[in-house]
Structure 1
């Protein structure tokens, strides 16, 4: 299971780096599962999660849910190919289940989530994920304008 957060104050590049190391590191190859690539992009106040799922029948093999404060994308990849060559039959079977989860801000409900699939990419829009997260500037005073510190 992989988890990315839509609600973070950490360095997004460090989080992406950790995601890539997790997806392509030794743990992923030992597990033998299918780990689709994912990215999170900000579009105004919305978050857009894109998950690469080429060749999948998303209506049959993919589920998108909001579960306990997380956006969860799960499914199964099944790919079978048979080839006849020189009187011999070659059959290749690739399969694997996957589950990707993304932490959601507390104010986001399932009603704010919509999903579409095009050209092998599942796009999930989380409306208002970044609403109210603008930085607030704090005035800095100097000299005699500074608040006094009382000593006990």
Structure 2
């Protein structure tokens, strides 16, 4: 059994390491990396807004659910490309997916949540309950 800490490739192993790179991610490329999209969360007087950077997806690729004070955002997209030329066929497959889960504050009105997808950004509006919006700002006196 090889000691993987001190393993030095030789012969055929070295040839494959040189050809494919030193890691499977070098060989497979960045498209196969596990990533989460960037998210902005903004709070205003009337609502919260979640902005998810998800370029390259379509509106129908998303599934948004609210359950037990949790907002679940899922996206899946599979892309297949096939080129047939004289003596060969090239097939390429790309699969993108992610899941994000957010605990909703008690101040969110779950019935009024809305979403839109535009220019590669999924925007989810989470309105606040009326009783929360109506509370005036209370100044605290410093003694």
Coarse TM-score class (shorter-chain normalised): 0.5 to 0.7
Q: Which residue of 1 aligns with 2:41?
A: 40
Query: Deviation digits for residues 42-85 of structure 1, max 9, x if unmatched?
Result: 344321111122232322x2111112212111121212223456
Q: Which residue of 1 aligns with 2:118?
A: 118
Q: Which residue of 1 aligns with 2:25?
A: none
Question: Structure 2 stretches of 5 or more lacking a match?
Answer: 1-29
Rounded to whole Å, the distance in 2 between the matches of 1:77 and 1:37 is 18
How many residues are aligned here?
A: 111
Q: Which residue of 2 aligns with 1:25?
A: none
Question: Structure 1 stretches of 5 or more lacking a match?
Answer: 1-28, 142-152
Query: Deviation digits for residues 11-34 of structure 1, max 9, x if unmatched?
Result: xxxxxxxxxxxxxxxxxx9x9545
TM-score (ref. length: structure 1): 0.58
Q: Show structure 1 runs of 4+ deviating over 6 A.
A: none
SS at match of 2:111: helix
> Does structure 1 retain, via aligned residues, the 8 Å contact 2:109–2:128?
no
Rounded to whole Å, the distance in 2 between the matches of 1:101 and 1:128 is 19
Q: Tell me: higher relative CO, structure 1 or 2? Use CA pairs within 8 A at least 6 residues apart.
A: 1
Moved more, 38-47 or 126-135: 126-135
> Does structure 2 retain, via aligned residues, the 8 Å contact 1:34–1:96?
no
Rounded to whole Å, the distance in 2 between the matches of 1:91 and 1:34 is 24
> Does structure 1 retain, via aligned residues, the 8 Å contact 2:109–2:126?
no
Q: Which residue of 2 aligns with 1:17?
A: none
| Residues 1-152 of structure 1: pairs in structure 2 closer than 5 A | 32-59=33-60, 61-84=61-84, 87-128=87-128, 131=133, 136-141=138-143
Query: Deviation digits for residues 112-132 of structure 1, max 9, x if unmatched?
Result: 210011122111011127847
Larger Rg: 2
